[in-house]
Structure 1
Amino acid sequence: MTQTWRIDTAEQTLVLAARDARLAQVVYWGPALAADTDLNMLAQASALDVAAGMLDDHPELSICPEASQSFPGQVGLVVFDATGAQIHPKFRYACEDQDGAALRLSYTDETHGLTYTATFEACCDTNIIVAQASLTAQTPVRLHWLAAPVMPASQAATHMIDYAGRWCGEFQEVKTSWTAGIRLRENPTGRTGHEHFPALVVPELEGTYARGGAHAFHYGWSGGHRMIAEELPDGRRQVQFGAATGIEKTADTSFQTAPLYLTYSEKGINGCAVAFQRHARKHIVTFPDPDRPRPVHYNCWEAVYFDHNLPELQEIATRAAALGAERFVLDDGWFGTRDDDTRALSEWTVDARKYPDGLTPLIDHIHAQGMSFGIWFEPEMINPVSTVYDAHPEWALGDRDQILGRNQMVLNMALPEVRGFLFDRIAAILRAYDVDYIKWDHNRVLPQPDAAQTRGTYQLLDQLRAEFPHVEIESCASGGGRIDFGILQRTQRVWLSDSNDALERARIQHGASMFLPASVTGSHVGPRHCHTSGRVHSMAFRGWIAAQRHMGFEMDPRELTDEEAKTLTEITVWWKAERAWLMQADILRLDRLDPSILAEMHLAQDAQTFVVFANKIDSSKQILPRPLRLTGLDADALYHITLENRDEQSHLSRGPAVLKLHDVTLSGQYLMHHGLNLPWSFPNQTWVIKGLRQS
């Protein structure tokens, strides 16, 4: 007996099939199939031959591959009974429930008292399929590994793309060729991590950003994950995602993976990126006031650090507002006796030495400048030198002699008394002052990974959001150390990186656009002399890089020359004029004919408007930059093209490049096939090109 099921969006179809009541396996995942496709015939067509010297049948590459079926690769479940003996389940079909776009399949192993359930839900408006797995047991068991529903990887792919990184260098693409064996990436740090973003992209037949087929995966969990991309000896390939192994510390009767977000596109890697960006905007992030324009952000960290002085902060606020800022965020240093990073973390009461009248005088001044007020917390952390640690050393996670991170330890968020204490302290600030924004930081890894830590943080965030629904929250973890759809269900902005170096930012933002829309991605104009890299960049370059995402400033505005202030103000005015559509646009990365150009095209939802940001990150190998091919346009339509920052051209650019001289009108076919000839420029400059559809 063969069972079949299908899940559809407008652009993709996922077909599952099962024989003899065994676990289902994915037999098709690709472009949308006709509604009348014979699924039984498709299941038959997917059957593989058997060669000599093998088992008499192929163990299924099922949604949870089983050791009991002699599966020749990594299995989808590793679980132990109360005595420590490993269980090798043999699941059989129990029941199903399919309601439109949602499918639920349940399987039982009566011998061991286990039930495995897989769910699939199609989000047709974003071209995302959300898959999740759960395990229940009649008696407590110890879980070592549970994969979200396991997916096959295309045998038409030559390579895969995943994401590495470091502090101030997040979202670095890593291309790895498919070969026999396994690529395993595991992040045991207890947070999403700079090092291993939980995602994988599998382009087919050397597909590019703009062309070819591609599958993509993102695991929406903030507590460390494991990724397996494996080619079996017979050539089949599988992809597994789940929480990092061994992070469930106690025996239990119920476990569940985080959601695994899946998508397939025939429009290149960009098609997958658009699906993730739209899904984040429509189904993951919930803004306190969705109709409020994204405010230009000012953060005082790199202006004052811990040296808080009310008159200076008021002067900085005045200058920031004059530049166009609409929100002022007071960063670390406002509480306890916090004069450096060695003390007071976890106290969360206003420092009366720095603010003898509380925060009200500063907030009143900020409001008088037309800005709203935000404030920094790092709730999950504690300094050993603090009144809270003196009273409750047992609240710290791990041993007392552990290696500290930035002079701090981690609070045990699994403890209700810790969450209660933090809620009360944070709520007291939010009730006492007019706060519309929290920068929520997480500056060190866990001493021991524990899923309960992440669940506890989720609970605290959920409680605060329920009590203070008007407050927006930013996820920061030494920059981009905790970014994923799990944390974004509870926050509305991410601090993508602690690096305000515009050149590094261009690269980081480019990689992150695979998953993150501009509206949630904070990007700030940093100091002239970058504090994290030592580089010096022009204000124009710094400003245009920040304008490619949710724009902000993070420098001392008192350092600006009149010319720098004028340039920044003009770019900010431009961003405000465009943000209504720009923050809802699809970010399409452009294929790089010239490796010196890192370019993105932000295409409005109605496809009538676009902006290209062409970032010159290096010198071209040849004399002139190669043409820049656009994407996602109507080939038959005409587009009016304007170089928005024409006045930034170099005096060494002497030729008749038409964009330097005047606007042009060109067809979508020309723009996508030939592309635009850019003016010559030095490295570390951005050309901003706006297009309006004419017909």
Structure 2
Amino acid sequence: MTDQDDIRCWRLDDGVQTLVLASVADALPEVAYWGGPLPGDEDLAALARAGLQDSTGGMLDTNPPLSVCPEAQRSFPGQPGAILRCADGLPVLPRFRFAAEEVGENAVTLGFTDEANALRYSLTVEADRETRLITLWASLDGDAPFLCEWLAAPVLPAAQDADEMIDVSGRWIGEFRLNRTPWSPGARLRESRTGRTGHEHFPGLVVPSRGTTNTHGVAHGFHYGWSGGHRMIAEELPDGRRQIQFGHAQGTQIGAATRFETARLYATRATTGLNGVATAFQRHLRDRIVTWPKPDASRPVHYNCWEAIYFDHDLARLKEIATQAAALGAERFVLDDGWFGRRDDDYRALGDWEVDPRKYPDGLGPLIDHVHAEGMTFGLWFEPEMVNTDSDLYRAHPDWALGPADQVEGRHQRVLDLANPEVVDFLHDRIGKLLATHAIDYIKWDHNRVLPLPDAAQTAGTYALLARLRADHPQVEIESCASGGGRIDFGILRHTSRVWLSDSNDALERLRIQHDAALFLPLAVTGSHVGPRHCHTSGRVLDIRFRAWVAAQRHMGFEMDPAELTDDEAEVLKDVTAWWKANRDWMRTADILRLDSADPAVIAEQQQAADGSRFVAFAGIAAASSQILPRPLRLTALDPDARYAVTLRNRADAPRLSLGKPALKSETVTLPGRYLMDHGLTLPWSFPLAMWVIEGERQ
């Protein structure tokens, strides 16, 4: 910290970026600099003074600060950082002044007070020197209860040389769609008000500078780690300044309290294109956020029985499926919906978390024993936060359901009120009893409807329940599923270690979804399954080779009736699964790098080992190309002076109409990194809906 000419400054460094906060006249600080690393002895106050902007006619004489929490009391012309009211509803317009600081090696906590309103504002900023991610959060405390309609996490500026922003929308079976929106005066507001993260509004934003691609240029990335619905505001003020705000969905912190706190905002600046942003998020999530039940264990090949049986549970058939799945290479068997209560369809029995004696007269033990005998661990599906009105639980406790009695249901179900400690205790007891009396290694935790009204307390209750179960059963892994990708964020992943990216098992859809999700998610948490030949969500019929290699790009699994496989399909699946097992450990810690394909029909990525010694590139041909022959595929992040032995792993998949003799069709080629990045690989011709898999090893 420096103090010169009434300017206080603080800095955070991680080796590739420096963030400087500057407080003028003890007001809330602004971000005075966010860029490449500054010299250690930089005069930060001089830097802050150099950045003070001019004023002209038609403006205030001094620009109101775009601070970490912009204050309406200081005539700020845009979205304020806090919207507060007294307990009686009257507006509160705070004006904070510096009070205290706590400066550590990689973190700064600053305190500010508003004596007139008896409020205290605190912000913390942490820099991680390994993952290159900055974490920020803020809190407000008062002497008396007050209402908080909106509190932004510490506000960051957006780059002035950015022409567009990239945010994320989606829908069920079509998650993680990237939207490119031009910057213009005014605000772009995205808000999830469904009570969960949502398929529609993933809480992420990337701001690329002009000319930035996947592999080149400067980009800034943001993610708000909260599962209960969020608000994002990307605003260009009339004077041209730009701000990024993230916080809980407005008005969801219901009721007066003496303390409110934001979730963590994760941010980074990268100079290696969108991939620089992506790798920071991937590494931080994998290495800092997720608490792995078995940190040293390989990620097991997953089998889920849902699309094989749905609600038709028959013990003999399930044992047969387990045997077939194990023969294909599965290492974990997950029993999905339909095992409990009188659950014969999705109209009944949610909440009755006891094994159905009609389907399992001897309980789950015989199936679990068989699964173990086949060399697999056992997982079980739950949807704890929900209830059907046709259930013993609802009949006993209709008051435990959230929302009005005449509400519109979703998937024939209602939401349990997890802000009620009795509900949390009940669920903890029922789920805990099953975990304590059965050898269950895995929970698929589903969430199949939106809330009847958004309430942050529901998310806090869910986190508390998950934390209690994890503490009691630390070896049990939990997957976050919400009709697929409806609850994926760094908040839920503090309590879980896998996400079900989408309910779509269509490999073509998954190719695009997981490619775009890689801006934020690593392989280790991203489930991807080989679905049925005839896809249940799209109606497409896709070749087993394409389906298998798309699943092998992430945490691999199967989700089909194994009996449908021909002998050839079974051999292909076993081969790809064996390849994945041989490579999964180094791929778990690899960076997923999106490639700038010269052919828009090709969706390509490169997974690069942490030490740079090897890579695998996947080139998915998602559509028919506009030109006849494949354009060279340029790789990225290689040592330009090193040489790499490159092999086309699945060269035998070249179709009959691939008539020429590209070297990769018949041999391993050794090429310099510079050639691979500047010219690219020449691949064989192929039909659409196919995948080329290229392995490389540094010599």
Work out whether the TM-score is over 0.5: yes
Instruction: Provide the residue aligned with 2:657 in structure 1.
Output: 652
Q: Does 2:571 match 1:545? A: no
Residue from 192, 200, 218 that aligns with 1:213: 218
Residue from 600, 607, 614 that aligns with 2:612: 607
CA offset at residue 251 of structure 1? 0.3
Instruction: Provide the residue aligned with 2:68 in structure 1.
Output: 63
CA offset at residue 626 of structure 1? 1.4
SS at match of 2:171: coil
Separation in structure 2 between the aligned mates of residue 96 and residue 353 of structure 1, nearest angstrom: 63
Instruction: Provide the residue aligned with 2:580 in structure 1.
Output: 575
Separation in structure 2 between the aligned mates of residue 34 and residue 614 of structure 1, nearest angstrom: 41
Q: Which residue type is aligned with residue 355 of structure 1?
A: Y
**Number of residue pairs the alignment of both structures matches:** 694
Give the 5 Å matches for 1:82-161: 82-161=87-166
Separation in structure 1 between the aligned mates of residue 616 and residue 374 of structure 2, nearest angstrom: 31
Instruction: Provide the residue aligned with 1:185 in structure 2.
Output: 190
Q: Which residue type is aligned with residue 525 of structure 1?
A: V
Q: Does 2:540 match 1:535? A: yes
Give the 5 Å matches for 1:342-357: 342-357=347-362
Q: Which residue type is aligned with residue 531 of structure 1?
A: H
Instruction: Provide the residue aligned with 1:391 in structure 2.
Output: 396
SS at match of 1:170: strand
Q: What percent of counterpart residues are identical? A: 62
Separation in structure 1 between the aligned mates of residue 378 and residue 145 of structure 2, nearest angstrom: 48
CA offset at residue 206 of structure 1? 2.2
CA offset at residue 18 of structure 1? 1.1
Gap regions ≥5 residues in structure 1: none
CA offset at residue 17 of structure 1? 0.5
SS at match of 1:407: coil
TM-score (norm 1): 0.99
Cα deviation, 1:9-42, whole Å, max 9, x if unaligned, reads 0110000111111010001111111112110111
Residue from 473, 489, 494 that aligns with 1:484: 489
RMSD: 0.6
Give the 5 Å matches for 1:136-535: 136-535=141-540
CA offset at residue 249 of structure 1? 1.0
Q: Which residue type is aligned with residue 511 of structure 1?
A: D
Separation in structure 2 between the aligned mates of residue 481 and residue 31 of structure 1, nearest angstrom: 35
Separation in structure 2 between the aligned mates of residue 661 and residue 563 of structure 1, nearest angstrom: 23
Counterpart contact for 1:296–1:325, Cα < 8 Å? yes
Separation in structure 2 between the aligned mates of residue 253 and residue 286 of structure 1, nearest angstrom: 31
SS at match of 2:187: strand
SS at match of 1:454: helix
Separation in structure 2 between the aligned mates of residue 10 and residue 489 of structure 1, nearest angstrom: 26
Separation in structure 2 between the aligned mates of residue 600 and residue 628 of structure 1, nearest angstrom: 10
SS at match of 2:179: strand
Structure 1: 4+ residue segments shifted above 6 A: none
Separation in structure 1 between the aligned mates of residue 624 and residue 648 of structure 2, nearest angstrom: 21
Q: Does 2:666 match 1:661? A: yes
Separation in structure 2 between the aligned mates of residue 196 and residue 154 of structure 1, nearest angstrom: 22
CA offset at residue 592 of structure 1? 2.2
Separation in structure 1 between the aligned mates of residue 33 and residue 597 of structure 2, nearest angstrom: 32
CA offset at residue 627 of structure 1? 1.1
Q: Which residue type is aligned with residue 576 of structure 2?
A: I
Residue from 40, 46, 50 that aligns with 1:41: 46
Counterpart contact for 1:158–1:206, Cα < 8 Å? no
Q: Which residue type is aligned with residue 416 of structure 2?
A: L
Separation in structure 2 between the aligned mates of residue 608 and residue 248 of structure 1, nearest angstrom: 49
Gap regions ≥5 residues in structure 2: 1-5
Separation in structure 2 between the aligned mates of residue 83 and residue 577 of structure 1, nearest angstrom: 64
Instruction: Provide the residue aligned with 2:3 in structure 1.
Output: none
TM-score (norm 2): 0.99
Give the 5 Å matches for 1:620-635: 620-635=625-640
Separation in structure 1 between the aligned mates of residue 279 and residue 87 of structure 2, nearest angstrom: 46
Cα deviation, 1:376-426, whole Å, max 9, x if unaligned, reads 000000000000000000000001110000000000000000000001100
Separation in structure 1 between the aligned mates of residue 436 and residue 93 of structure 2, nearest angstrom: 53
Q: Which residue type is aligned with residue 194 of structure 1?
A: H
Q: Which residue type is aligned with residue 62 of structure 2?
A: D
Cα deviation, 1:301-324, whole Å, max 9, x if unaligned, reads 000000000000000000000000
Q: Which residue type is aligned with residue 301 of structure 2?
A: V
Separation in structure 1 between the aligned mates of residue 37 and residue 482 of structure 2, nearest angstrom: 39
